[in-house]
Chains A and B, each alone.
Chain A
């Protein structure tokens, strides 16, 4: 098989050396390593197709991988096989400025697409997630990621306008307007086949090209932080700010360090505009919306130094990743709970109860998705990867949080394989049968990233 893979991608882009197998057996999170048999790096859709056909011939699993940064072990080959690192497929194929979309290959990183637009199309932007910039736009959208424009436009999966997919059986197929037209403008008005590949963790095919929506980029940006000391106020604060439709992005963070932050909830509100006047106007409307809290001394805006502003305005916010150094041990993982905003207080209290009980370091980081339609509530736990007990503590906290989230009525996002099983336990029987049938229909040989969404 090694020889066959070499013939497909070229000798320098396939490996079965212990070094590559070691690195590709894990991601930076807590999930235990699982070794692949091979790692390959295709350059074209045709090469991906040949790899998938080969996998079918040998009945060996194939696992697509982007930046390996989802942290929940999703790119570990749970049943061994071939890890397909997509990042050599890094062409930005087209930017349609007027229809505001880009067509990219699956390995294009968030960082590169952002830099490309900044340089060539300064009036356009993507909804950048705060993930490290090597994360791929495609994987992020496929796992229902969210980012700087999600409060206005929703999950990144909702920004997908079309895709080219290599199905588990090796056929190449297009979905969205590009299946009919040369333009990749929309998934409507066709049967929405994109749903067969979104949220499946590569279980139903390898996406090789993606159409993604771009949005207007405004000249002025600013950030305001509204501080409360009572978590039961936060969902209302969010509701009020979202209601103004003046904010671009709304996030909330709470953490025990630095000391001045302990016990407070920080609602971070991003505002953009095309003139200073417009910016001031928007900020005023937002301030007015929160005036009751200010008058009753139940909340207020934090003074931000230019340095702090610059940090919050950076896209992606690189400071976030430094949470992995809290225990000087290069690790953190989070449960990203998708929940109604209304449940903020419950979710917050439950999180505190878990961290206090387990005596674990923590940070909560929340992004509003839609006009307070829901939120991604991240319960993040750092760990020292050189200390197995510490890693185990984080694993336990993650597991307990996943369970608690489901009990609250939420759903863990980008769930680890065990958490997927927890979700399936709570899932409607009809939905489960459908998931099973879809997988069996698309992947008769069971080669596409098996072990994910496994309905038993």
Chain B
């Protein structure tokens, strides 16, 4: 379980020097919320100082402060680039401060809605349950429980990518099943500081897993991957890892896809969990792969993490997602990612920008390569 850090011992150590705004080469602003808002309040250093000010009663909580706190997508670019020794704890500080705010009932409106829906319906939008009934393959002691995560379960675009994954798993003969009544694993709840709600969701999920004998989880959602791996302590694989093994072992016989490919690292897969190689190996195997200038540890977040795909604090014309697809369009014709949240954010951004860029999940391109 995530330890709640004692941020009172850390916040005053931030110098507000701004190294954390950048990628390694300082070429662009790489903190998504600072890139959008540009006020000094919206980057890691600004947040550290504001948390300290709030803690010392120099400023009061306000909806605006709440929005500043929650527009951090917890992408961990600052963790990667802060030059101080407490860098590893930066995002933990934000989470802990949010948690203290939540405990006092201090959450901005949209975040409150998010939590309420999650508590009542097991998903952020308040949609009906039985979200994976359409898969028609209930878990029955299979090798893997396939956990889709909220976005792949409900968002139309992400759902399509989930279907591609299911098709690939069938072709490769992978033994999996789903919970048709899957509920959120709670990654966003804990990251957004609702520890109580997270405990509740984790307990519910654990109970179901135990009752139904789940041993291994397969998920296309890096957010779920993070929670299962780091908070539940489960044996979990991300679909990029499984797909690479299947392709590499010859279980999936792939050809080539047309067009230049590039890859957007989802923060919860890359910076949070260090999975960088598998997607690149896969894409290099099936097509012409080009890196965007900001990649791997320097990747630029799509702006969807930490509930922002719902709260939309990072939306609008200067959104990180729009910046990211422009960068992708200068690099390649097909922007591949491996996260339902990124897929949804980037796909919408391409429409908003009117770009000729194809945004796909990695399972969709692998499926195309399989059929080619």
Q: Which of A148-156, A289-297, A326-334, A445-453 has 4 or more CB atoms under 8 Å from chain B?
A: A326-334
Q: A12-B318, A318-B19, A325-B13 are in contact. List 11 more A-B contacts (CB 8 A).
A: A17-B64, A28-B16, A115-B25, A115-B26, A133-B19, A133-B22, A325-B84, A325-B85, A330-B12, A330-B13, A330-B16
0/1 per residue, A304-333, Cβ < 8 Å to B?
000000000000001101101100111110
Q: Is the CB of A23 within 8 A of B27?
A: no
A-B contact pairs, 18 of them (CB 8 A): A15-B39, A20-B39, A20-B40, A22-B50, A22-B58, A24-B40, A28-B17, A39-B39, A85-B38, A87-B38, A110-B26, A112-B26, A134-B17, A134-B19, A321-B84, A325-B15, A330-B15, A385-B12
Given A19-B68, A112-B28, A329-B13: A88 and B60 within 8 A (CB)?
A: no
Q: Does A384 contact B (CB under 8 A)?
A: yes
Q: Is the CB of B26 within 8 A of A321?
A: no
Q: Does B135 contact A (CB under 8 A)?
A: no
Which residues of chain B (48-80) have a CB below 8 Å from chain A? Answer: 49-50, 53, 58-60, 62, 64-65, 68
Given A28-B15, A132-B19, A321-B83: A13 and B62 within 8 A (CB)?
A: no
Contact residues in A for B15 (Cβ distance below 8 Å): 28, 321, 324-325, 330-332
CB distance from B47 to the nearest CB of A (A): 10
Most chain B CB inside 10 Å of its own CB: which residue of A116, A118, A330: A330
Contact pick for A67, options B18, B25, B39, CB 8 Å: B18
Which residues of chain A (115-144) have a CB below 8 Å from chain B? Answer: 115-116, 118-119, 132-134
Task: Give the complex CA separation of A27 and B40 in angstroms.
Answer: 11
0/1 per residue, B29-45, Cβ < 8 Å to A?
00000000111110000
Q: Is the CB of A134 within 8 A of B68?
A: no
Given A115-B25, A134-B22: A322 and B12 within 8 A (CB)?
A: no
Q: Does B46 contact A (CB under 8 A)?
A: yes
Q: Does B21 contact A (CB under 8 A)?
A: yes
Task: Give the complex CA separation of A114 and B58 in angstroms.
Answer: 38
Task: Give the complex CA separation of A159 and B368 in angstroms.
Answer: 56
CB distance from A331 to the nearest CB of B (A): 7
Task: Give the complex CA separation of A331 and B37 in angstroms.
Answer: 26
Contact residues in A for B65 (Cβ distance below 8 Å): 19
Contact residues in B for A112 (Cβ distance below 8 Å): 26-28
Q: Is the CB of A18 within 8 A of B39?
A: no
Q: Is the CB of B40 within 8 A of A85?
A: yes
Contact pick for A321, options B17, B21, B37, CB 8 Å: B17
Q: Is the CB of B40 within 8 A of A17?
A: no
| Chain A residue nearest to B81 in the complex (CB) | A318
How many B residues, CB 8 Å from partner?
35
Which secondary structure characterizes the binding site on chain B? loop
Q: Is the CB of A19 within 8 A of B50?
A: yes
Contact residues in A for B19 (Cβ distance below 8 Å): 132-134, 318, 321
Q: Is the CB of B17 within 8 A of A328?
A: no
| Chain B residue nearest to A133 in the complex (CB) | B26
Q: Is the CB of B59 within 8 A of A18?
A: yes
Q: Does B14 contact A (CB under 8 A)?
A: yes
CB distance from B94 to the nearest CB of A (A): 15
Q: State the B residues within 8 Å of A (CB).
A: 12-19, 21-22, 25-28, 37-41, 46, 49-50, 53, 58-60, 62, 64-65, 68, 83-85, 316, 318
Q: State the A residues within 8 Å of B (CB).
A: 12-13, 15, 17-20, 22-24, 27-28, 39, 41, 67-69, 85, 87-88, 109-112, 114-116, 118-119, 132-134, 318-319, 321-322, 324-325, 328-332, 384-386
CB distance from A114 to the nearest CB of B (A): 6
| Chain B residue nearest to A385 in the complex (CB) | B12
Task: Give the complex CA separation of A17 and B64 in angstroms.
Answer: 8
Task: Give the complex CA separation of A69 and B18 in angstroms.
Answer: 9
Contact residues in A for B85 (Cβ distance below 8 Å): 322, 325
| Chain B residue nearest to A319 in the complex (CB) | B83
Contact residues in A for B13 (Cβ distance below 8 Å): 324-325, 328-330
| Chain A residue nearest to B316 in the complex (CB) | A12
Contact residues in B for A330 (Cβ distance below 8 Å): 12-16
Contact residues in A for B58 (Cβ distance below 8 Å): 22
Task: Give the complex CA separation of A324 and B37 in angstroms.
Answer: 27
Q: Is the CB of A329 within 8 A of B83?
A: no
CB distance from A217 to the nearest CB of B (A): 15
| Chain A residue nearest to B37 in the complex (CB) | A12
| Chain B residue nearest to A87 in the complex (CB) | B38
Q: Is the CB of B38 within 8 A of A22?
A: no
Contact residues in B for A328 (Cβ distance below 8 Å): 13
Task: Give the complex CA separation of A328 and B86 in angstroms.
Answer: 10
CB distance from A190 to the nearest CB of B (A): 34
Q: Is the CB of B59 within 8 A of A19?
A: yes
Task: Give the complex CA separation of A278 and B304 in angstroms.
Answer: 52
Q: Is the CB of A329 within 8 A of B27?
A: no
Contact residues in B for A15 (Cβ distance below 8 Å): 39
Q: Is the CB of A118 within 8 A of B25?
A: yes
Most chain A CB inside 10 Å of its own CB: which residue of B21, B25, B40, B64: B40
Contact residues in B for A28 (Cβ distance below 8 Å): 15-17
CB distance from B65 to the nearest CB of A (A): 5
The 7 closest A-B pairs by CB, nearest first: A111-B26, A134-B18, A115-B27, A386-B12, A324-B15, A132-B17, A133-B26
Given A68-B40, A133-B19, A384-B12: A23 and B26 within 8 A (CB)?
A: no
Task: Give the complex CA separation of A134 and B38 in angstroms.
Answer: 12
| Chain B residue nearest to A90 in the complex (CB) | B29
CB distance from B226 to the nearest CB of A (A): 28
CB distance from B176 to the nearest CB of A (A): 45
Task: Give the complex CA separation of A110 and B17 in angstroms.
Answer: 13
Q: Is the CB of B83 within 8 A of A322?
A: yes
CB distance from A130 to the nearest CB of B (A): 12
Task: Give the complex CA separation of A27 and B26 in angstroms.
Answer: 21
Contact pick for A114, options B26, B38, B41, B318, CB 8 Å: B26
CB distance from A86 to the nearest CB of B (A): 11
CB distance from B18 to the nearest CB of A (A): 4
CB distance from B322 to the nearest CB of A (A): 14
Contact residues in B for A329 (Cβ distance below 8 Å): 12-13
Contact residues in B for A23 (Cβ distance below 8 Å): 39-41, 46, 49-50
CB distance from A448 to the nearest CB of B (A): 22
Task: Give the complex CA separation of A321 and B25 in angstroms.
Answer: 17
Contact residues in A for B318 (Cβ distance below 8 Å): 12
Q: Is the CB of A69 within 8 A of B12?
A: no
Contact residues in B for A13 (Cβ distance below 8 Å): 38
